[in-house]
Each structure stands twice: as C-alpha cells, then as structure tokens.
C-alpha cells in the first residue's frame, strides 16, 4: 500500500486506485518519501495489515505513450503495434491528431507540436499516415492512409506537449475561481489543505495565468469527491494530477492568479519584484476586444506611481525603481503618462496625461522592486518582537513550530535587520487566526508570504535580529577653544589642547558600554567605558600628532540573553601645529605697528623743519592712527 503515491518520470503510471477488500490482510506499507529519494520499493517497505490495496495502471498498457518528457502530457510520441513501439513521422501528423492523442492520455489541449523536441532514437517508423477528424477518443480509432511510409527525415519524429488538465471555474475571469483538475477522466475540485502561493503558482503557470496572488478556502454544505494534492510532490516539480489522490471533503480551494489583475510584475524573484506590465484592451477591425500586456516607460512613472503599484499588489513600500532591471521584451508601450497622487488603491484609478507616447528609449521600461510586507511588533526595536506578515490584505502573526535561525534570518533580511539571533514561541491565552509558514518553502528561497497558509493557533513566533540597536553618535568637544568642526565627519584639534570624544546613543535600553576605537596609519587603540545616561566621554589631556586618525564608537549591550553591538560612523581627526596661529595673532599686529612708526618718520623728514603748531596737529593725527589721506583733507579744510 502506498502513502501519497508520487508518479515518477519514465514509464508513467496512468492511474492509481485504492481497492477495499472484505477483510484485513498482510500488506507492504511503502513510504513515499523513501521512494522520492530514489530508493527501490523493497528498500522502502514495512510489514503492515490493511483492508486497502493499491491498483495501478501504467502507460505501456495503452497503445499510445509519450516518452522522455517532463510529465504524462509531454514527450516523444510512440504507438504500439504487434508489441513494438514505433515512432510517428511529423509529416503524417497534424493538429487534429494531436488533439486526439492529448484527449486519449487525459491531458488538455495540445500546445506544442514539433519534431525532435524530445530527442530521437533508433526505432521502427509507423508506416501509415493518420487521418483523424479530431473528435475520436483514441488515435488508433482514426482512419489511416492506404500507402506505407518506410522512411522519415531526421528530426521529424513527432514531439508533442499537451497542456495540463487544469481549470479555474466560477470566477470573474479564467485566471480566478475554484481550482479543478482532471484526473482518471474525472474533473473534480481540489481540496484546500496546506497549500501556499508556491504550490498555487504551479496551477497558475499551467493555465498561463502568471503567478498566484491569493489562495482561499471555501466551505461547502456537504462533503463531495475532491482531489487531494500533495504539496511536497508539487514542490518537487511534478504536475498537479501526478500528485493527486482521491478524497472527500467540504473544504474547496479557490485561487486567484496574477493575470486576473490589470497590473503585474514579471521576471522578478517574487510577487513583489519584476518588470511592470499593465493590461489594456485593444479593439480590432471586427470590433472584438483583445487584451494585451503593455510595458510602461520609466519617464512616465515616478515614486508616487510606484507606491500605488506596490499597494495594489499587496506588497510593502517601493525600494528600487530602475529601468531594464528585469530585462526587456518586445511588447507594446503604454501610451499615456500616469499621474498618481500616491493614495490611489490601483494604478488604473490614477489620472493620465492627454498626449500619447509611442516610443520609449531602450532600457527605459519600468523595473520595480517593492519591499516584502513583513514587520516585527511589540518590541523595543523595529528589529525585535512578534513577527507579522501581510498576506491577502491581512496582517497576522506567524506560527512556525519548526522554525530555526535559518528560516528566521529570511525575515530579518527582508526587514534589513541583519541575521537572526533568537527565535521562540509565545503561547497566548486563546486561539487566533495566524499564518503558518512552511519552513521547507522558505528554505527553497521563496518569500515569506508565498509560503503562508491560514490556520488557527495560540502559539506565536517572536524574533530577535542582529541589528537590534540604533546607530550611536560620535562627536568632539574640548575644554579650550582649540577644536573646530571642519565637516560632518571630520574635526581639527590644535596640538597641546585638551579634547574629549563623546559617544552617545538615543535612549533604547538601560546599561551597556561604549568602546572607542582609534586607528591611524601605524597604530590602533581601544578604550572602553560604561554607558552613563546613554553616553560616555573619553578625555585626552593634550592633543599630539599621534592622535591623528579615525575614531568610531561601538555600543555593546547584553539583552534578551544575547550580546548586541552597533557601530557609529567614522570620525576623522587632524591635529595641526599651533605655530601658524601664533604668527597670525602676535606678529601681524607688531608688523602693522612698525609700519605706522616708519610712516611717521618719513613724513617728518620730508617737511625738513621743526614741528610747529600745524606739525603738532599732524603728530596728533599720526598718534591717533589717522591715515595720511584723512590728514591732508583736514589741512585743506583749514
């Protein structure tokens, strides 16, 4: 008996069924995880007893198969004749035959028909040309030509890809609604279990609907037949129907894909990053409306528009807005310039310019990265507290029973808070709605909200990140006038003067200590003092050239059973010699005095006579420091 049987590539099983017997009997219980790892069936077997027996149908029981593809619905087409498998020549096979084959295998409509797409082998060639009407249930039910074909050009063996039998029904568009899968010839809804956006995105891609933006549960009045799809199987890369098990439930999965919205981000690392594309309607000459995805030119888009897009997609604030960041494609250009106020709930709610734009410079298509909607609340720092994630428009705490520092560090990085130093569970008095976040999904590189499933729990995740502390400040002060702030990151202290380097931090936690680190071209020193009123002062009695270099303050604190530290910016200190200042303050006034004395004797010698009353007046003016031009003016006045 298999548990959650996963269908593996090769000779694919067509279906698995559980058969109930009238009495319990001895069976082998085979662990699916063991089989997934590549072990043989008997290596994964444990003796057990059960009423339920596994019935299996393999692809080679049918006269048509697809070989060497990625799933049951893709591969090189082969047809069985007289117990031999034969290739089919592409020249004898067209779209109608492809539709019959896809229907026979229980797949969706054909999407790719191309020779040699799945490799060539040395094998017999089917000798007749198929002539199907497209409505037949099996390929061998089709008519065939009377003439035989014995050869087929290299690279012409039929390779076929059928779409996966998946659909969304009951929604506003083909990209939203109740998820249904066709398996073993039966369309059934999918049971809502532990699905996250990561598994749901597989269905959206199968539907050519972009990625998943929301997963919801709808309760029905009574239980019905459903397909239960193993999420681990889907994450391993298998198609949905290959991971399906028959079940009954009243809990049905509803899904919304990104292409159901008029705005999307493409080719990014998550739902919140990528090349911006906007859906618009274009009418052709037949008055039929076709929907196209258009690029937006960076010149017509600014920070306010970016804020609206991030809000519309359920992401955090915009962090990067740069053209061609996520590649360029050949696509129409949005013709109007958006004019958002920044408060709108959707981009198409914004006003637009009256003039059209038909061209945009290469590399100018908008690439946008929004921050992930993650926060820590209830702590003394933005980098510590209860972890909350916004998903499907709802902020909820996180439940993560198997979280380690590895998963927690993903949240710290998304918060720009370094790495995780502690993660713990806090029990609340009652159950509440929370997001259960799958640790395996997070470890695979997906964003937190893409790994979220709605559950009820009284256990809440508390998280502390390494960048818990604010950045300390560093400044210079001194007891004399010998220091000057040259610029924000530099200061001057005259040689021989007393100066103090001050380390401080905004009030956050009590206690702690400051370590002053000094680095010069030929030495390095550290000094440590306890923090008093969130600051520490390091006194230097006399500045010397050896004090020139870079200083930084590092604040250390033990809190939440962990040591934390935070470093200030660098302060560059220079210690100039005071001699040039002495020359400026003492010698310059002396030189000016000597110049005045020399001028006095010059004018005295020029007159060549003893000083009389007028000369006495002149002397008085000279003694008062009146310039010669003012003295002559005084004489003219007499």
* In this structure, CATH architecture of domain 166-260: Roll (3.10)
The Cα–Cα gap between 634 and 631 comes to 5
**Looking at the chain, how many residues does it have?**
638
User: Using CA atoms in the order 323, 329, 334, 337, what is the torsion angle rounded to 10 degrees?
Assistant: 10
Judged by average pLDDT, the poorest of 203-217, 525-539, 582-596 is 582-596
**pLDDT in the model for residue 444:** 83
- Fold for 473-574, please state it: Immunoglobulin-like (2.60.40)
The Cα–Cα gap between 41 and 56 comes to 14
For residue 540, pLDDT beyond 90? yes
3-class DSSP assignment, residue 306: helix
Cα distances from 357 to residues 300, 321, 337, in angstroms, run: 9, 20, 8
What is the residue-wise DSSP string for 156-205? -B-EEEEPPSEEEEESSSTTEEEEEEEETTEEEEBBPSS--HHHHHHHHH
Q: Which residues contact 477 (CB under 8 A, 6 or more apart)?
A: 483, 499, 500, 502
**pLDDT in the model for residue 627:** 43
Both tokens of residue 471? 């950045």
For residue 10, pLDDT beyond 80? no
Same fold, 263-281+290-370 and 473-574: no
List beta partners, residue 157: 89
Mean pLDDT of 386-413: 91
Q: What percent of the chain has pLDDT over 70?
A: 85
CB-CB contact of 401 with 457 (8 Å): no
CA count, 13 A, side-chain hemisphere, 394 = 13
Give the model confidence (pLDDT) of 326-351 as tens digits.
Answer: 877 888 888 888 999 989 999 999 99
Residue 249's pLDDT band (cuts 50, 70, 90)? very high
- CATH code at 374-465: 3.10.250.10
Domain positions in the chain = 13-60, 62-162, 166-260, 263-281+290-370, 374-465, 473-574, 583-637
Q: What percent of the chain has pLDDT over 90?
A: 38
CB-CB contact of 105 with 72 (8 Å): yes
- Fold for 263-281+290-370, please state it: Mac-2 Binding Protein (3.10.250)
For residue 3, pLDDT beyond 60? no
Residue 16's pLDDT band (cuts 50, 70, 90)? low
Mean pLDDT of 44-51: 82
Dihedral sign from CA coordinates of 501, 505, 511, 512: negative
**pLDDT in the model for residue 638:** 36
**pLDDT in the model for residue 585:** 58
Degrees to nearest 5, angle at CA 30 with 27 and 36:
165
Give the model confidence (pLDDT) of 523-539 as tens digits.
Answer: 899 999 999 999 999 99
158/579: higher pLDDT: 158
The rounded mean pLDDT for the chain is 82
Residue 72's pLDDT band (cuts 50, 70, 90)? confident
Q: Which residues contact 583 (CB under 8 A, 6 or more apart)?
A: none
Mean pLDDT of 423-438: 92
Most confident of 229-233, 497-501, 612-616: 497-501
Judge: domain 62-162, CATH 3.10.250.10.
yes
């Amino acid at each position: 008996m298999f548990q959650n049987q996963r269908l593996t590539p090769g000779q694919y099983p067509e279906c698995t069924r559980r058969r109930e017997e009238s009495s319990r009997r001895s069976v082998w219980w085979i662990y699916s995880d063991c089989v997934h790892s590549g072990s043989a069936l008997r290596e994964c077997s444990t003796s057990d007893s059960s009423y339920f027996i596994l019935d299996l149908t393999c692809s080679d029981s049918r006269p048509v198969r697809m070989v060497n593809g990625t799933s049951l619905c893709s591969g090189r087409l082969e047809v069985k004749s007289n117990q031999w498998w034969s290739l089919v020549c592409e020249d004898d096979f067209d779209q109608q035959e492809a539709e019959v084959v896809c229907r026979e295998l229980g797949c969706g409509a054909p999407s790719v028909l191309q020779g040699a797409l799945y490799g060539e082998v040395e094998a017999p060639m089917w000798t007749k040309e198929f002539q199907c009407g497209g409505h037949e249930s099996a390929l061998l039910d089709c008519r065939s030509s009377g003439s035989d074909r014995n050869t087929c050009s290299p690279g012409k063996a039929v390779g076929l890809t059928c779409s996966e039998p998946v659909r969304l029904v009951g929604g506003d568009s083909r990209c939203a609604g109740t998820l249904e899968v066709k398996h073993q010839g039966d369309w059934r809804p999918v049971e809502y279990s532990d699905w996250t956006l990561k598994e749901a995105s597989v269905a959206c891609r199968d539907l050519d609907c972009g990625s998943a933006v929301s997963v919801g549960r709808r309760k029905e009045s009574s239980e019905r037949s459903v397909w239960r799809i193993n999420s681990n199987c889907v994450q391993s890369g298998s198609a949905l129907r290959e991971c399906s098990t028959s079940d009954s439930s009243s809990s049905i999965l509803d899904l919304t894909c990104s292409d159901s919205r008029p705005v999307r981000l493409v080719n990014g690392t998550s739902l919140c990053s990528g090349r911006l594309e906007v859906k618009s309607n274009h009418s052709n000459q037949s008055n039929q409306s076709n929907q196209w995805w258009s690029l937006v030119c960076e010149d017509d888009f600014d920070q306010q528009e970016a804020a609206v897009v991030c809000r519309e997609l359920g992401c955090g604030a915009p962090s990067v807005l740069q053209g061609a960041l996520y590649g360029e494609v050949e696509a129409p250009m949005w013709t109007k310039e958006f004019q958002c106020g920044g408060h709108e709930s959707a981009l198409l709610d914004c006003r637009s310019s009256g003039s059209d734009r038909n061209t945009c410079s290469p590399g100018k298509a908008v690439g946008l990265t929004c921050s992930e909607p993650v926060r820590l609340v209830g702590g003394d720092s933005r980098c510590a507290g209860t972890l909350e994630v916004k998903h499907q428009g709802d902020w909820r705490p996180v439940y993560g029973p198997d979280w380690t520092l590895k998963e927690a560090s993903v949240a710290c990085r998304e918060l720009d808070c370094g790495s995780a130093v502690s993660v713990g569970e806090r029990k609340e008095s009652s159950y509440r709605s929370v997001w259960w976040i799958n640790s395996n999904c997070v470890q695979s590189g997906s964003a937190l909200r893409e790994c979220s499933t709605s559950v009820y729990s009284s256990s809440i995740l508390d998280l502390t990140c390494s960048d818990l502390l604010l950045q300390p400040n560093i400044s210079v002060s001194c007891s004399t006038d010998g220091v000057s702030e040259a610029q924000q990151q530099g200061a001057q202290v005259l040689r021989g003067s007393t100066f103090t380097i001050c380390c401080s931090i905004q009030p956050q936690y009590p206690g702690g200590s400051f370590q002053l680190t000094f680095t010069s071209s030929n030495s390095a020193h550290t000094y440590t003092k306890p923090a008093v009123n969130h600051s520490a002062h390091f006194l230097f009695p006399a500045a010397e050239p050896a004090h020139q270099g870079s200083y930084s303050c590092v604040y250390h604190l033990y809190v939440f059973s962990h040591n934390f530290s935070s470093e200030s910016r660098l302060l560059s200190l220079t210690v100039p010699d005071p001699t040039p200042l002495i020359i400026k303050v003492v010698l310059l006034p002396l030189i000016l005095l000597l110049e005045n004395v020399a001028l006095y004797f010059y004018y005295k010698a020029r007159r060549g006579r003893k000083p009389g009353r007028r000369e006495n007046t002149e002397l008085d003016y000279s003694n008062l420091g009146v310039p010669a031009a003012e003295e002559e003016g005084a004489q003219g006045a007499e």
